[in-house]
Structure 1
Amino acid sequence: MGFAVAGVFVVLAMLVVLSAVKIVPQGREYTVERFGRYIRTLKPGISILTPFVESIGRKINLMEQVLDVPRQEVITKDNVSVQVDAIVFIQVMDASAAAYRVENLPYAITQLTMTNLRTVVGNMELDEVLSQRDHINSRLLEVIDQATSPWGVKVARIEIKDLTPPPDITNAMARQMKAERERRAVITEADGEKQAAITVAEGQKQAAILQAEGRREAAFRDAEARERSAAAEAKATELVSNAISAGDVNAINYFIAQKYVEAFGKLAESPQQKTVIVPADMASLVGTIAGVAELVKTAQAENAAPPPRPRGGRGGPAVPPTGA
């Protein structure tokens, strides 16, 4: 009988010890209550409670948690119904506040997120909702983090998972996107044709400028050649005129014979001319050539003749030439 009583006491002692010693795992915190009243929070590790007086109240998870916000239908500012769902990342920073300031913390945060999601999306048009997800996320994060701060919870981030417009709106958006891309393609093609036309016009302009410069240079060269030819012709005419003024008529014959021979030679060199008609009056040509020959002989004789010597004795008066 004594052994049975001793065994009972040992078992009771072990139960008391086990109830007094608490081990808190990493990433969690336990609240301690004394007769139902919160007194302290147990950190990760081993702790000892007062038997039959203190007890564990709530076990709080301090690790970051993910809450799934159910899909809901939201009406935008331009009266378009959109299906929206999201996820919320939270982390408990104060175990006592999370345990005793709100009942069912995950449910409360989920409902708060759904309400604010309807508010934020309802103040935006459909195009803004579809293109500004980051803006929606930031506004929701700011509002919900401020609302959950008294609960000892830090909202790390909120992400919109899906935005689904009605099927007719989706089809209209697809047609709009197709029309926009076709418009961009037409504009791009028109810009390409415009640039090509500009390039071709610039090339033609440069070619015209170069051709004009070439024609100007050629005209300048032709004018210079004609000027030199005219100067040479004027010089030759001047020489002939001087010869005529000096009484030498053969110079005119030489000038006319030269022009005549040049004209006759050009007539013979013509590629279309196969028959050359020689004028019947060759006597004038022969006479002209004879005059030219006489002119040449006279010039040679004048150059070869010695200067005349004076007649008479040394120191006497000069005798005039015969026929003077």
Structure 2
Amino acid sequence: MSQNLLLLVLSSAVLIALFSVKRIPEGTVYTLRRFNGQARTLQPGTHLIWPLLERVVHRISLTGHVLPLDELFPLHSGSARLSGKIYWQVLDAARADALIDRADELIRARALNAARAVDNPAEETTEARNSRLKAALNDSLRDVGIVVTRVQIALA
């Protein structure tokens, strides 16, 4: 009986030791949360965690993300289709952690609001529209740790 108990304790200790080593790949940041709500961010590399107290909440990729955009856009003379892509990436994972699950929706909504800010968007050139949208998005997303690297949107 004591050998079985010893084997159980040793195997449990080995499992806990294996689960407490976390390898984070390059270009990725993990956010861990404890049961008491405390959070911490792990940069790429090998880290020790508390396997029963902490859990991985987000795996945030620091490499580029692509947001396809295909929306019906109202104009003074009817409507047109606003379509293209918005390229973005996370600069500060600690600030972006709170909204990373809904980052695409946030960027989409802010891009549409910025596109509506022009009185007659049909007269604006594509290059001017893209640079204006990129600047407006970066101004509004700077505080949340996200940067827009490129905007390729056409109004058709």
**Normalising by the residue count of structure 2, what TM-score does the alignment of the two structures yield?**
0.87
1:297-316 residue pairs with structure 2 within 5 A? none
What residue is the counterpart of 1:124 in the other structure? 120
Higher helix share: 1
What residue is the counterpart of 2:155 in the other structure? 163
Higher strand share: 2
> Could you report, residue by residue, the CA deviation over 1:259-291 in whole angstroms, capped at 9, with x for unpaired residues?
xxxxxxxxxxxxxxxxxxxxxxxxxxxxxxxxx
Shift of 1:55: 3.2
The runs of 5 or more residues in structure 2 that have no matched partner are none
Shift of 1:53: 3.3
> Could you report, residue by residue, the CA deviation over 1:81-108 in whole angstroms, capped at 9, with x for unpaired residues?
2222121110101111111256511221
Q: 1:125 to 1:148 in 2, by over 3 A?
A: closer
Aligned with 2:117: secondary structure? helix
Larger radius of gyration: 1
Alignment length (residue pairs) = 155
Aligned with 2:131: secondary structure? helix
What residue is the counterpart of 1:37 in the other structure? 38
Shift of 1:152: 0.5
What residue is the counterpart of 1:26 in the other structure? 26
2:104 counterpart of 1:106: yes
What residue is the counterpart of 2:70 in the other structure? 70
Q: Calculate percent identity across the aligned residue pairs.
A: 27
Aligned with 2:81: secondary structure? strand
Higher mean alpha-carbon deviation, 10-19 vs 63-72, is at 10-19
1:87-102 residue pairs with structure 2 within 5 A? 87-101=85-99
| Structure with the larger RCO, 1 or 2 (CA within 8 Å, 6+ apart) | 2
2:153 counterpart of 1:152: no
Aligned with 2:74: secondary structure? strand
2-side partners of 1:147 and 1:15: how far apart? 45
> Could you report, residue by residue, the CA deviation over 1:145-203 in whole angstroms, capped at 9, with x for unpaired residues?
1111111001111111x432xxxxxxxxxxxxxxxxxxxxxxxxxxxxxxxxxxxxxxx
2-side partners of 1:46 and 1:125: how far apart? 50
**Normalising by the residue count of structure 1, what TM-score does the alignment of the two structures yield?**
0.44
1-side partners of 2:37 and 2:18: how far apart? 20
Q: CA RMSD in A?
A: 2.0
What residue is the counterpart of 1:83 in the other structure? 81
Task: Please list every run of at least 4 consecutive aligned residues from structure 1 whose deviation after the TM superposition is greater than 4 angstroms.
Answer: none
2-side partners of 1:114 and 1:18: how far apart? 47
